[in-house]
Every structure is written in structure tokens, then in C-alpha cells.
Amino acid sequence: KPKSSIPLDVHLMIDNPEIFIEQFIIAGSDYLTIHVESTKNVEASLRMIRDLGAKPGITARPGTALEQLKPFLHLVDLVLVMTVEPGFGGQKFMESQLEKVKELKSIREEKKLNYLIEVDGGINPDTAKLCWEAGADVLVAGSAIFSTNDYKSNIEALK
């Protein structure tokens, strides 16, 4: 981390993330994102992340209803919308998840909240356009960038 000025965004796909939060922040995480399903006390975990100096985030997997996230939106700096099932690369983009992006953007505006909306899963130049149009602020694009050695062109194609 000391060699980069780019914010380090870490998505914890683990149960009981509160056990590891401090270690990930010490390692240099700027954003730390957890799943509502992964901890017994979501609010305490989010507050711990902020108290230890990082920006808390929360994740909506394809099967996670936004109703599960709404009680915590005022506590986060980032909401991650998964457009594939987490844990496996190269999956097909689930366009239905863009409704969550649109709703999160609407909630953010209505309630004057200040979180980033991030989308992860199946991102390519075509799906990136859909995400930007729906209201995404940040895209996670592994395969779309690293599928060839021309990283710069691949990144440009996503803008």
C-alpha cells in the first residue's frame, strides 16, 4: 500500500468479518466492504471499520434484498452491488441487478447520503455502459482488464 496513492478497496467475502477487520486496515485497506449475511452485528462491524480509520462498505449479492441494506446506508461510504454470484470469475452479468443500482442512486439523492455505488461482476465495455447509465460510480473489472496484455486500452474501453 505505501507504494500507491490509489485507494485500496477490499471486499471481505468471509463469515465473521469483525475478526479480521483490524488486520485488513493495518495492511492498508482504505475501503472495507462486508456482507450483511456474514455477521451477527452489521452496525457494530461498520462502526469498527470507521473507528479504525477506514471507510465502511456493504454488499448486495444477487440474492440480497435492498431492504436488508437500508438500515445501514447512513453508516457506509460504499455500497457494492454484485452482478454475479460472488466467488467465481468469468460469470455472465446479471442485468436484473441494475435495478438495485438505480434504487440506491435514488435513495442516496432522496436522503442526501454520501456513499459510492460500486458494481462487480461480468463487467465489459457493454455492461460498463449499462452500469454507468444506471448510476454506478465505481466498477470492478478483473477479466475485462486482464484478459489481454493491453491493459490501458482495456481500461479505456470501460470508460
Confidence of residue 4 (pLDDT cuts 50, 70, 90): confident
Cell of 128: 460498463
Cβ neighbors of 78 (< 8 A, separation 6 or more) are 9, 31, 33, 55, 56, 57, 58, 115, 116, 117, 118, 138
CA-CA distance, 125 to 139, in Å (whole number)? Answer: 11
Exposure of 42 by Cβ count < 10 A (0-12 exposed, 13-18 middle, 19+ buried)?
Answer: buried
Where do we find the cell 459510492? 116
What is the model's pTM?
A: 0.90
- If you average pLDDT over residues 22-44, what whole number do you get? 96
Residue 40 has pLDDT above 60, yes or no: yes
CA-CA distance, 56 to 35, in Å (whole number)? Answer: 11
Residue 146 has pLDDT above 70, yes or no: no
2 vs 34, higher pLDDT: 34
Q: What is the structure's pLDDT at 141?
A: 76
Confidence of residue 38 (pLDDT cuts 50, 70, 90): very high
* Domains of the chain as residue ranges with CATH: 9-158 (3.20.20.70)
